[in-house]
Structures are given as structure tokens and as C-alpha cells.
Amino acid sequence: MTRDLYAVLITLPGGDTLLLPNAAVVEVLSMEGVAPAGGPAWLAGRCQYNGRPVPVVNFEVLNGAPAPEASARTRVTVLNGITTQLAGGQFAVLSQGYPHLVTLNANAVVRDTAAPADSRDLIVTRVRIANTKAAIPNLEAVEREIAEAEAAGATGEPA
């Protein structure tokens, strides 16, 4: 018996791809609603979601890559947090277009090599699904980075 896992592939503006559980994605929003927040270079700003400011992360920059150019296809993908570190319980990542739903099983996913610039704290592993390479992020570490920026007052959120 094969167990299936429903997941999403989120293409990032610089071309990298994240693999996340389907339940992590809450909503995809337009870039137009992102307001600058100051703070670290990886903090793209804040967007309003359900009447609350949500921090928007440029994951590639957080992982050590240079900031990619935004395009007309750049979106904001709101994610559910997995810890209690974030005041609003959610954060967002910049994405290129919309996430793609995939159904995975043990035969569909093959471990891949890490990218040279990958932060061991932020990337759990890299995988290959058919001919798509994706990173599985450590969401707890991402939330910790956001919480530290919030505590420093970078996002306007309470610590």
C-alpha cells in the first residue's frame, strides 16, 4: 500500500523551488499589497491578510542568494506557521506565480544534493520530483528568523 502526501511546489522569484505540505498554504496574494518594513534584506515587507500585517520573506535572500528582480508574475504566498513564535501565526514568502499541487509517494521523491549556498539551518534537504528540483525548508528556523526581526522592531509587529 502506497501512502500519498499532498504537497505544493512554490517557485521562488530567483528560480529556486520550495516543497511544502499542502496544508501550509493559506492564500496567494498580489505583490501590490506589500509595504516596505525595513530590517534585514530578506524581509521584503508586510502584507495585510485578514486585517493583520503579515511579514513577507524573500526566502532566497534569507538562504544567502542575491535578491532577484520582481516581475509581473511575483506573488505573495501566505503560509500557516508551525510554531508559536509568530504573533499572528502566519508569514508569507515571495513566489513566482501560483503554487502547484503535487501528489507524492515514496517512489516519486528522490534525495538530491544540497546547493553550495544552502544554509544548513534553513534547508532540511533537497529533493527531485521527476525533473523538478526542490528544497524542503526548515519552517521552524524561518519563523525564528522572523520572530527575531519582529523583536528588533523590523516589521511593526509586537514581539
pLDDT in tens, 84-130: 999 889 999 999 999 999 999 888 899 999 888 899 999 999 999 99
User: Based on the structure, what is the number of domains in the chain?
Assistant: 1
CA count, 13 A, side-chain hemisphere, 67: 11
- Is residue 120 situated within a structural domain? yes
- Is residue 102 situated within a structural domain? yes
- Is residue 158 situated within a structural domain? no
- Is residue 59 situated within a structural domain? yes
Antiparallel, parallel or unpaired: β 52-57 and 90-96: parallel
Q: Which domain holds residue 16?
A: 5-151
- Is residue 156 situated within a structural domain? no
CATH code of the domain covering residue 143: 2.40.50.180
Instruction: Flag whether pLDDT at 8 surpasses 90.
Output: yes
- Is residue 159 situated within a structural domain? no
Which residues of 23-141 form beta strands (DSSP E)? 25-30, 43-49, 52-57, 74-80, 90-96, 100-104, 109-112, 123-129, 132-137
- Is residue 157 situated within a structural domain? no
Q: What is the mean pLDDT of residues 8-20?
A: 96
